[in-house]
Structure 1
Amino acid sequence: MSLVNEPAGDAALLAGLEGASVQPGSRWMRPVEAVAAALLVGIIGLLLAGVVSRYVFSVPVIWIDEVASISFLWLAMLGAGMAVDRSEHLRLTVFLNLLAPERRQFVATLGLVLMALFLAVMLRPAIDYASEESYVTSAALNIPMSWRASALPAGIALMLLLALVNAFRGVKLAHLLVSVALIAVVAAILWQVGPGLRTLGNWNIPIFLVGFVGLFLVMGVPIAFCFGLGTLAFLATTTSVPVMVMIGRMDEGMSSLILLSVPIFVLLGCVLDATGMGKAIVEFLASLLGHVRAGMSYVLLGSLFLVSGISGSKVSDMATVAPALFPEMKRRGHKPKEMTALLATGAAMADTVPPSIVLIVLGSTAGVSIAGLFTSGFVIASVLLVVLALLARWKARAEVMDGIRRAPMKTVGKTLLVAAPALVLPFLIRSAVGGGVATATEVSTIAVIYAMAIGAVVYGGIRLPRIYTMLTETAALSGAILLILGTASAMAWALTQTGFAGKLVGLVQVMPGGWISFMGVSIVIFMVLGCVLEGLPAIVLMAPIMFPVARSLGINDVHYSMVVVTAMNIGLMAPPIGIGFYIACKIGNTPPDEVMRAIWPYIGALFIGLLLIAAFPFLSTALL
């Protein structure tokens, strides 16, 4: 069982679902890549100029946010097209890979045709949406908003073209024709039974928004298109809502100014990997703790904790830490399956450490203070760090310590001196956002400039060709992420319009056990979603439904956020479906079947930490 065709690049955010090699884009996509890279540089420059003008000269430049917003949507859509070209859209292939080769090829072809169908149907409404936006004028620049909205039909057309190219390249014509015929038959059936389906009311939710989406996930259709296809079928078959409304919801879900920090933190992960800042932190902790029993396990966990405070990416974290520590851990008698299990659960532990992209998206989607989430995230990660460290200490009772000596203080001091500039960064990010000094978007820009400057002065810098590659990787990955957020937002809107959320509130309020029962149900739901969907789409999909219910029961927003994020991360690393589990195995170069038997005590430790977090709200709120 494995994942294929996922974002690559050891240092990108799901930087690329982690550890796979980067697939360069097609030669004829070079102009698109250049434009996307230029847009990313322009966004960083604009945001940096805004920070300087606001905090240094006390003169806010109003039009900067508008230009950044326009550039951001174009970056997202062009990046989504690049991700189609590179086959980097996130998808679940565990079940697809269980099929015989011939059937697997047919199902993959069917998935491509479904992608093309969704894009073809959405193209005309996207054009109409951009046309409608021409009647709206921007506040600062006084230009038609169609300049911005035109990114949607342009990106959809690009993705459609690339999907068709992929559909006709390397697939069997018979598979292609059967796929088209099968989809046409299903569409005709849905059209015929549509009037009857409308009478079912909310029973259409499990049919379309659970059944169809689940089927597409099992088929290996990229997650963004699973959400899009399910929502499109639901709206077109059971409602009279025009499809253009869905385009508007996608626009809203992927273009919030708060989300500007997503591509910049993705780029920061690339910088971390390229400069060796993360490696410097690992070497310092190894010199400080490597001589004690379970010391290398402590170093691994501590490194994940600190490095995640720079990169914002589980992928970057694991890809930075594992190569530096695994050889020494093997020498001390650690088994590869145990090391990989600790790596996976350690990455799950560290996902609440700022700058967590999951926390940024959660704050944007659920309306929760990002400053509060960043402040609480450190404490929650510390709780999980302690339970994992205790388990690691118990498992290391037979560790081979022959010949292990404490590093001389001179060595510790030297590694500290090298690591100090990198160690400053996670605390800079946390204190700036948590203290309300700057927004997450502003801090992400400052962090990238700081990392680039420190990397050039202390760690040898980055060659220009590598910088350009990082920019294009970031654009493609960000596009894949933001398209998921857009289609998940459309699906979440469709769910809320059915009145499902209101009925859920009423059901929960009469459920025995009150907030405790709801918290237990939430843990189960988000662990399951974490297994199947990964954190970002699960958050965007469920936050609009679950957070109002939590508020109605008096649960603090930040407390609930920490519980659901931790539950999702446990699900993400839980075999046999958890996506992050296979990523960790890939990075640790260990067969999943071996790690599957070793990871359960570590999952259990995380679950104990989760129960503590859920039962004692002050762990999440004490520092707010």
Structure 2
Amino acid sequence: MTAASNNTMTVDTPAEVLDARPGSRLMWPVEAAASILLVLVVGLLLAGVISRYVLSLPIVWIDEAASISFLWLAMLGSAIAIDRNEHLRLTIFLGMIPERARDFVNALALLVVATVLLALIVPASQYVQDEWYVTSAALNIPMSFRASAIVVGLALMSVIAVGHAIRVATLANLAAAIAVIAALAAFGWLLSPLFLTLGYANIPIFLVGVVAVCLLLGVPIAFCFGIGTIAFISFSTHVPMIVLVGRIDEGMSSLILLSVPIFVLLGCVLDATGMGKAIVEFMASLLGHVKAGMSYVLLGSLFLVSGISGSKVSDMATVAPALFPEMKRRGHKPKEMIALLATGAAMADTVPPSIVLIVLGSVAGVSIAALFTSGFVIAMVLLLVLAVLARWKASGESMEGVHRAPFSVVWKTLLVSAPALVLPFLIRGAVGGGVATATEVSTIAVLYALVIGALFYGGIGAKKFYAMLVETAALSGAILLILGTASAMAWALTQTGFANRLAVYMTDLPGGWFSFMIVTIAVFMVLGCVLEGLPAIVLMAPIMFPIAARLGINDVHYSMVVVTAMNIGLMAPPIGIGFYIACKIGDVSPDEAMSAIWPYLGALLVGLLLIAAIPALSIAYL
């Protein structure tokens, strides 16, 4: 992810913030350790693939070693993300606050982060002690070696967050923020006997109200979930806090999630080597001469490039600079280009290797291979509806001076792009065909991309590669911490019995399963706007998927509806982060682009309703 806009959910890294990073020059040991761990995880998984498929001698301890390294990578990466201010947060409402008050709100947000971390350190230490009596099956070592990563990560993040608050906030604002947090904590403790009697009413108070307020204040989303769940458990239940730490660990530690940092790294390699640009140039030589041809190229490139990177941001950053100049020359309005770019990226998010699909498979227990196969077809349905709209929009496109590319040019661009074009089909074929898991394929894909990049696309220098490793660790840590805290919040929500009550209500809706689908579309479109994709899935999947199963809805079909609805919300202004990222990449004002995106979102909604109403589109070929 990159920085978006100052008025949406962002991963901010402005120069003035980076300059204020406390101890950033002292972070190099942490960054170096995270980089080594990332290389170690890739190396271990690659060794496992070779031993299993080439030598037919599986090494049983590799998964355990990779899991231990993975948790350390996630926690150190989260600390790096704190240092770089790269945790995802909603800032749309901060811009509406007067500047003087904004300084206090920023100090308060930093101290909320510190409060979450400090509240978890003691129970995390107890969790590590308990894990000492659990021995790993293959390595035969205490699991405390693994769980210690949580304590180290929390301690590092605490020091960084407090140091950052001291450095950027005034003493008066810090004192006021501390007073507010202390007063609210005392208020919650005093009223805890009342909260214990409220039952379901605690859900809107803590799991909705506290989280929403913190989200509006610009607290990073992982810590919004964290503070809401901590307050809920502390003031309205007798559940020990150590249980929360265990749920965070569980949410971050699924072996399926090992592929997340590796596909993030793959996206960085794609950007650095220019493999994505080669695909775009081939598509342009093939289709650029027809009416709406550049729109088709943009959509087709997003479709293909997404099969390599697994990241919407990487997709848009690769495609837009290569196509926008020629589209402008042909008379395309910048706002229409942004609208097509944003919705095209939303369309491509079901194309393997989608990190969203990997996380959904992990959380909801759905086959990754089935999701990858279905996602490819569903993306084609959405591609078709967007292409039809793009053709209608291109009625006034200027084709003056546009000629079909000579066969020699098409052939040359094909030869240049061929090594890159193989990669998305390798990923889809291997996972969809059940030959290898998404994690195994991700390691092969990274090795392939590095080798092909070095041989055909100029390679990557050592300094740049190190920077890519650090950036991958930071982004992966930010993602995985969201998954951990969202998992804890989802667990707290289900323990209230609310999920069962909701299931009874939903199954009795008039209209049966399709009414439930409409409710699902509405819920995930809203959550996609506000929470972004991954936390929305982790939070709601444990609740919604069992209801869908009761109604006889196939889990793969339901997954396609959920992901598509969420992506539409993600690109919907005025809050959706994807829309603002597209505007930033295309250098177009969000106010200008906002009026143009609605027809494209409408086209995606039409495609979504077709997907929801016709299960065969998702499951007929599984």
TM category, shorter: over 0.9
Say whether residues 1:427 and 2:431 are aligned partners. Answer: no
| Superposed displacement of residue 573, structure 1 | 0.3
Pick one of 28, 33, 51 that aligns with 1:30: 28
CA contact (8 A) 2:529 2:570 kept: yes
Equivalent position of 2:409 in the other structure: 411
C-alpha separation in 2, matches of 1:327 and 1:305: 20
CA contact (8 A) 1:289 1:299 kept: yes
SS in structure 2 of the partner of residue 199 of structure 1: helix
Say whether residues 1:130 and 2:128 are aligned partners. Answer: yes
C-alpha separation in 2, matches of 1:565 and 1:23: 37
C-alpha separation in 1, matches of 2:228 and 2:178: 18
Equivalent position of 1:513 in the other structure: 511
C-alpha separation in 1, matches of 2:12 and 2:585: 12
My pick for the range that moved more, 465-474 or 188-197, is 188-197
C-alpha separation in 2, matches of 1:60 and 1:23: 48
Pick one of 3, 6, 21 that aligns with 1:2: 6
Equivalent position of 1:58 in the other structure: 56
Say whether residues 1:231 and 2:235 are aligned partners. Answer: no
Equivalent position of 1:14 in the other structure: none
Q: 1:452-463 counterparts in 2 under 5 A?
A: 452-463=450-461
Equivalent position of 1:538 in the other structure: 536
Q: 1:595 to 1:22 in 2, by over 3 A?
A: farther
C-alpha separation in 1, matches of 2:484 and 2:588: 35
Equivalent position of 1:242 in the other structure: 240
Please report the TM-score for the alignment, with normalisation by the length of structure 1: 0.97
C-alpha separation in 1, matches of 2:211 and 2:587: 32
C-alpha separation in 1, matches of 2:207 and 2:115: 18
Say whether residues 1:478 and 2:486 are aligned partners. Answer: no
Equivalent position of 1:13 in the other structure: none
| Superposed displacement of residue 4, structure 1 | 7.5
CA contact (8 A) 2:90 2:218 kept: yes
C-alpha separation in 2, matches of 1:202 and 1:392: 48
Equivalent position of 2:320 in the other structure: 322
SS in structure 1 of the partner of residue 142 of structure 2: coil
Pick one of 85, 88, 108 that aligns with 2:86: 88
Equivalent position of 1:574 in the other structure: 572
Q: Could you give the per-residue CA deviations for residues 463-483 of structure 1, whole angstroms, max 9, x where no partner exists?
A: 111100000000000000000
SS in structure 2 of the partner of residue 271 of structure 1: helix
CA contact (8 A) 2:7 2:93 kept: no
C-alpha separation in 2, matches of 1:294 and 1:103: 49
C-alpha separation in 1, matches of 2:20 and 2:73: 19
C-alpha separation in 2, matches of 1:378 and 1:70: 33
The letter of the residue matching 2:491 is W
| Superposed displacement of residue 401, structure 1 | 0.5
C-alpha separation in 1, matches of 2:526 and 2:541: 15
Pick one of 347, 350, 365 that aligns with 1:349: 347
Q: 1:403 to 1:23 in 2, by over 3 A?
A: farther
CA contact (8 A) 2:309 2:353 kept: yes
CA contact (8 A) 2:10 2:91 kept: no
The letter of the residue matching 1:2 is N
C-alpha separation in 2, matches of 1:564 and 1:482: 20
The letter of the residue matching 2:406 is P
The letter of the residue matching 2:420 is A
C-alpha separation in 2, matches of 1:8 and 1:55: 42
| Superposed displacement of residue 23, structure 1 | 11
The letter of the residue matching 1:503 is R
C-alpha separation in 1, matches of 2:444 and 2:328: 38
CA contact (8 A) 1:272 1:310 kept: yes
The letter of the residue matching 1:334 is H
Say whether residues 1:588 and 2:592 are aligned partners. Answer: no
Q: 1:142-153 counterparts in 2 under 5 A?
A: 142-153=140-151
Equivalent position of 2:192 in the other structure: 194
Q: 1:475 to 1:440 in 2, by over 3 A?
A: same
Q: 1:537 to 1:180 in 2, by over 3 A?
A: same
Q: Percent identity?
A: 72
The letter of the residue matching 1:412 is V
Pick one of 551, 557, 560 that aligns with 1:559: 557
C-alpha separation in 1, matches of 2:251 and 2:20: 28
Q: Could you give the per-residue CA deviations for residues 279-299 of structure 1, whole angstroms, max 9, x where no partner exists?
A: 000000000000011000000
SS in structure 1 of the partner of residue 349 of structure 2: helix
C-alpha separation in 2, matches of 1:265 and 1:483: 17
C-alpha separation in 1, matches of 2:616 and 2:102: 50
SS in structure 2 of the partner of residue 169 of structure 1: helix
The letter of the residue matching 1:103 is A
Q: 1:205-216 counterparts in 2 under 5 A?
A: 205-216=203-214
Q: 1:146-185 counterparts in 2 under 5 A?
A: 146-185=144-183
CA contact (8 A) 1:297 1:389 kept: yes
SS in structure 1 of the partner of residue 89 of structure 2: coil
Q: CA RMSD in A?
A: 1.5
Equivalent position of 1:265 in the other structure: 263
Q: Could you give the per-residue CA deviations for residues 449-473 of structure 1, whole angstroms, max 9, x where no partner exists?
A: 0000000011111111110000000
C-alpha separation in 2, matches of 1:164 and 1:153: 16
| Superposed displacement of residue 187, structure 1 | 1.0
Corresponding pairs, count = 615
The letter of the residue matching 2:475 is L
After superposing on structure 2, the runs of 4+ consecutive aligned residues of structure 1 that deviate more than 2 Å are 1-9, 20-25
Q: Could you give the per-residue CA deviations for residues 380-422 of structure 1, whole angstroms, max 9, x where no partner exists?
A: 0000000000100001000010010000000000000111111
C-alpha separation in 2, matches of 1:22 and 1:175: 20
| Superposed displacement of residue 6, structure 1 | 4.1
| Superposed displacement of residue 128, structure 1 | 0.6
CA contact (8 A) 1:73 1:151 kept: yes
Equivalent position of 1:614 in the other structure: 612
Q: Could you give the per-residue CA deviations for residues 412-463 of structure 1, whole angstroms, max 9, x where no partner exists?
A: 0000011111111111101100111000000000000000000001111111
Q: Could you give the per-residue CA deviations for residues 45-100 of structure 1, whole angstroms, max 9, x where no partner exists?
A: 00000000000111110000110000000000000000000000000100111111
| Superposed displacement of residue 2, structure 1 | 2.7
The letter of the residue matching 1:190 is G
Equivalent position of 1:384 in the other structure: 382
CA contact (8 A) 1:190 1:237 kept: yes
C-alpha separation in 2, matches of 1:508 and 1:76: 37
Pick one of 61, 71, 74 that aligns with 2:72: 74
CA contact (8 A) 2:347 2:383 kept: yes
Q: Could you give the per-residue CA deviations for residues 462-510 of structure 1, whole angstroms, max 9, x where no partner exists?
A: 1111100000000000000000000000000001101111111111122
CA contact (8 A) 1:585 1:592 kept: yes
Equivalent position of 2:368 in the other structure: 370
CA contact (8 A) 1:88 1:477 kept: yes
CA contact (8 A) 2:20 2:168 kept: no
CA contact (8 A) 1:8 1:23 kept: no
C-alpha separation in 2, matches of 1:187 and 1:379: 50
Q: 1:280-359 counterparts in 2 under 5 A?
A: 280-359=278-357
Q: Could you give the per-residue CA deviations for residues 262-288 of structure 1, whole angstroms, max 9, x where no partner exists?
A: 000000000000000000000000000
Q: 1:436-455 counterparts in 2 under 5 A?
A: 436-455=434-453
Please report the TM-score for the alignment, with normalisation by the length of structure 2: 0.97
CA contact (8 A) 1:8 1:21 kept: no
My pick for the range that moved more, 362-371 or 90-99, is 90-99
CA contact (8 A) 2:264 2:472 kept: yes
CA contact (8 A) 1:23 1:86 kept: no
C-alpha separation in 1, matches of 2:7 and 2:127: 36
Pick one of 113, 119, 122 that aligns with 1:121: 119
Q: 1:203 to 1:598 in 2, by over 3 A?
A: same
| Superposed displacement of residue 7, structure 1 | 3.8
CA contact (8 A) 1:572 1:580 kept: yes
CA contact (8 A) 1:348 1:570 kept: yes
| Superposed displacement of residue 8, structure 1 | 7.0
Equivalent position of 1:493 in the other structure: 491
C-alpha separation in 2, matches of 1:122 and 1:35: 23
The letter of the residue matching 2:387 is A
Q: Which runs of 5+ in 2 are unaligned?
A: none
